[in-house]
Structure 1
């Protein structure tokens, strides 16, 4: 997993819960990295799982809810760092429909060894979209949060529902409906 995901996660933890919480979740975890991350480095996904789990345990906030908050933070950072990725889209449906053939292609140019989820577009109309998320990391709630942030960016109200296609959450179907 790319270091930028870790550095921004710890930035969010510090911002929302303080530096002491960052130190606490790092010390509670068994991290090969020692909890030292660079944005361009690559680290084990298990380290993120430990950090998330310890933050959840220490705050009594579910991992899913933490991922939703993190998605807001991460989206803002990515938008600020890479505004050209979204600037030529006129609406959120077009942007989401381009995840695989544009957004992820550009991300791979920036981070060649990034392990990205896939989003297969199954159905699309002007007001509705069905996409299937696939990733061995099962961070579908982060994906949902990033989708919600996309619609907020365009000031378009949306409902996003999902169904897990397996128990682990490594395959999830999203139902996206503009309101």
Structure 2
């Protein structure tokens, strides 16, 4: 089983106990305002999402990690890798992403988890390039991208929802 330990976090595969806390995170309109069309997810939608994330692990050899606090074991959200099929113009690509419960914002957890996931992508999985995609205006996400060493590569439009997107990228030579 793939696990990554950081000074404060454990990144690991999903288990049955993660559904309720992740559903609570996904039900927060403030957390979800930058995701998709901004709609919150209910318990069933969260269960379907976790199932898709686990399938991606099986199919791709990478995916979104459940992220928990080392001290308490509390699930705080996710961070990891996915294939951004919703944006065909940048394919083939692997995206790094994260989503944390609001009470865990502003404490460096997103940067810590995202850095671990980026290292996993480039060093463990042998990828030579990783992107990160956000809606224009999501400065918190862009701050994490900059901390990872990513640079703005493309400004485009979401093909389904029509809002502006910003694609940041880093390759292995920039990372090294």
The two structures have a TM-score, normalised by structure 2, of 0.30
Largest Rg, 1 or 2: 1
- TM-score, length basis structure 1: 0.29
More helix by share: 1
Q: Report the structure, 1 or 2, having the larger strand content.
A: 2
